[in-house]
Chains A and B, each alone.
Chain A
Amino acid sequence: MTHLLPPEFFTATVPLNAYLILSAILFAIGACGFMFRKNIITIYMCIELMLNAVNLSFVTFSYQFGKVDGQIYSFFVMVVAAAEAAVGLAIILTIFRNRGTLQIDEIDTLKN
C-alpha cells in the first residue's frame, strides 16, 4: 500500500475546483483578519492562515498535474513559516519586554 487511504476511497465525486474555492475563501478570511485585528500575535496567526490557503492550492495543483513539485513548494513555505515564526516571536517578546504592550497602534514611537 503506497498511500494512506485505500484506492476505493477515491471516487472523484469532489471536483478539484472545490479545493481551489476553499483555498480562496481561506485566504480571504486570513486577509480580513490581518486587516482588522489589532494585536501583533493574532495578526501573525492570520498570516499563517493565508500561507496555509496558498499551500492548499499548491497541493491541489500538484494533484492535478500528477507532479510532486507543488508539494515541495508547500514544504518550503512551511519551513520558511517556521523560520519566520521563530524570529517574529522573538521580536514580539522583545517589543513586549520594552513597551509592555502588543497593540499595534500603541507602538508608534517613529510617528512623531
Chain B
Amino acid sequence: MDFILLSILKTAIAAPVLLGTLAYLVWIERKVLAHVQLRMGPSRVGPHGLLQPIADAIKLLTKEDFIPSYVNHVYYWLAPWLALMFAVTAISVIPIGPIVEIFGVKTNMGQADISIGLLLILGLTGMGVYGIALAGWSSNNKYSLLGGLRSSAQMISYELPMALAIASPLLIVNTLNLREIVNGQAGYVFGIIPNWNAVGGLQMFSFLIYLICAFAETNRIPFDLPEAENELVSGYNTEYSSMKFAAFFMAEYANIITACSVATTLFLGGWHPIIPNELGGQFIPTLICFFFAGVLFYHALNPARPSDRLSMGVIGAIILGLGLMFQVPVVKDLAQPLFWFASKAGFLIFVFIWVRGTVPRFRYDQLMRFAWLVLFPAALLNLLLTAFVVAAKSN
C-alpha cells in the first residue's frame, strides 16, 4: 500500500488513542496518588470518577485564556505548543509490536520504523527544553524565568548520564533501530529467564540510571525543581491558563509515556512475553483479564454502593471480553504484543506515580551534585565495564 496513505491511516488510529491515554493518565495518577495517601481520589463525575478527564477537558477548554499584558506574545503563544509537539512526535518512532500482516498489508506496529530511531528520540526530547525555556522567558516573570532556567540546566545535565546509560545496552544489541533492538532481546536464557537487557543482558544498572534520569527529564518528583510549587509558585507555567496550561500538562504526560516506552523497548524486551509462549506465556493476558473480571464481578455481587451493582458488572464484562479477545486467532497476533508492551510501559508509569507519592523533593544544589558527581561517573563506569565485557565476548 502507498507509504503516505498508510502513514496517515496509522496516525489517524494512533492520535486519538494517544490523546485518550494522556487524558486518562491524569485520572490514573490522581487515583493512585489518592490511594497512596489513603484518600478516595476523584469519585464524583461518573462511576469512580471515570468521566473526570472529560470534565477536566471541558473545564480547560472553556476557561478564560488570560494573557498578562507584559508577556512577549509570539513566544508566549508558541512555547506550550512547541513543548507538546516535540513530546508527542517522539512517540511516533516507538514500535509497539512486530511487523504484522493485516488484510494483506505488511506493516510494523508503530508510526515509523527508522534506522536512527533512538537518536531521534534523544534529539526530540532535547528540543522539548525549548518549550520550557521559552515559556519561562516570555512570561516576563522572575519565578517563571527561574523555573525555565532551572529546567534547562537540569535537562542538559541529566541528558548526559541518560545518553551514557542508553549507550551500554546499545553495545549489546548493536543497532539504533528500535524494532531491531527489541528483536535482539528475543529468546530466553536457560529457556525461562527472559533475555531482556535489564534481566538476561545484565544491564540492570544502566536501567536504573536511565530510570533516574527519566524522572529528571520529565520534571517529576523527586526532581520537579522547575515547578516546585512552594518556592517558584509553579515555575515556568505560572502565567499560563486554559488550553496553554493544558498543553504543558499534556506535554509532561506525553514525555512520561515516551520515557517509559523507551525504557520498555530498550531494557524490558518490548513486546516479548515474560514467559515463553511454549510454557503458556500466551495465556497470561487472558488469565490476568479473567482475574480482574472476577474481582469486579465479586464487587458487583456485594456492592458497597447501590450504583456499583451496575458499573462493576459492566466493566467486568468488558474486561472478560477483552480477555477472550487475546485468544481469537486473527486478533491474537495484534493484541498480544500490544498487551505486553502496554503492561510493561504501564508498570513503569505506575512506578513514576508511586515514586511521586513517596519520595520528597531534592534541593537544587543536591540535584546538580547528584547528576555530575554520582550519576555521571556511575554511568561512565557502567559503559566502560559493558564495553570490556562485550569486547571479551567477541574475541
Contacts and interface: CB of A to CB of B under 8 A. Distances in A.
Nearest to B116: A4
Contacts of B116: 4
Interface string A1-17: 11110101000000000
Contacts of A8: 3
B65 to A, nearest CB: 33
Contacts of B113: 1
Contacts of A2: 115
Interface in B329-376: none
B114 interface: yes
A1 B3 contact: no
B3 to A, nearest CB: 6
B115 A3 contact: yes
Nearest to A2: B115
A2 B113 CA distance: 11
B3 A4 contact: no
Interface string A81-109: 00000000000000000000000000000
Contacts of A4: 114-116
Nearest to A6: B3
Nearest to A4: B114
Nearest to A3: B115
Contacts of B115: 1-4
Interface in B91-127: 113-116
Contacts of B3: 6, 8
Nearest to A1: B115
A49 B116 CA distance: 25
Nearest to A9: B3
B1 to A, nearest CB: 13
A92 B3 CA distance: 49
A21 B98 CA distance: 44
Interface in B112-161: 113-116
Contacts of A3: 115
A8 B2 CA distance: 11
Nearest to A5: B114
B279 to A, nearest CB: 34
Residue of A4, A6, A8 ringed by the most chain B CB atoms within 10 A = A4
Nearest to B114: A4
A17 B330 CA distance: 52
Interface string B1-43: 0010000000000000000000000000000000000000000
A2 B116 CA distance: 9
A32 to B, nearest CB: 24
Interface in B71-91: none
Interface string B220-264: 000000000000000000000000000000000000000000000
A79 to B, nearest CB: 15
Contacts of B114: 1, 4
Contacts of A6: 3
B92 to A, nearest CB: 13
Contacts of A1: 113-115
A1 B112 CA distance: 11
A59 to B, nearest CB: 16
A8 B114 CA distance: 15
A3 B114 CA distance: 7
A4 B118 CA distance: 13
A36 B113 CA distance: 46
Nearest to B117: A4
A16 to B, nearest CB: 23
Interface in A1-55: 1-4, 6, 8
Interface in B35-56: none
Nearest to A8: B3
A5 to B, nearest CB: 9
Nearest to B112: A4
B129 to A, nearest CB: 16
A11 to B, nearest CB: 14
A47 B283 CA distance: 61
Interface string B58-70: 0000000000000
A3 B116 CA distance: 9
A98 to B, nearest CB: 22
Interface of A: 1-4, 6, 8
Interface of B: 3, 113-116
List of 6 A-B pairs having minimum Cβ-Cβ separation, nearest first: A4-B114, A4-B115, A6-B3, A2-B115, A1-B115, A4-B116
Given A2-B115, A4-B114, A4-B116, 7 more contacts: A1-B113, A1-B114, A1-B115, A3-B115, A4-B115, A6-B3, A8-B3
9 contacts: A1-B113, A1-B114, A1-B115, A2-B115, A3-B115, A4-B114, A4-B115, A4-B116, A6-B3
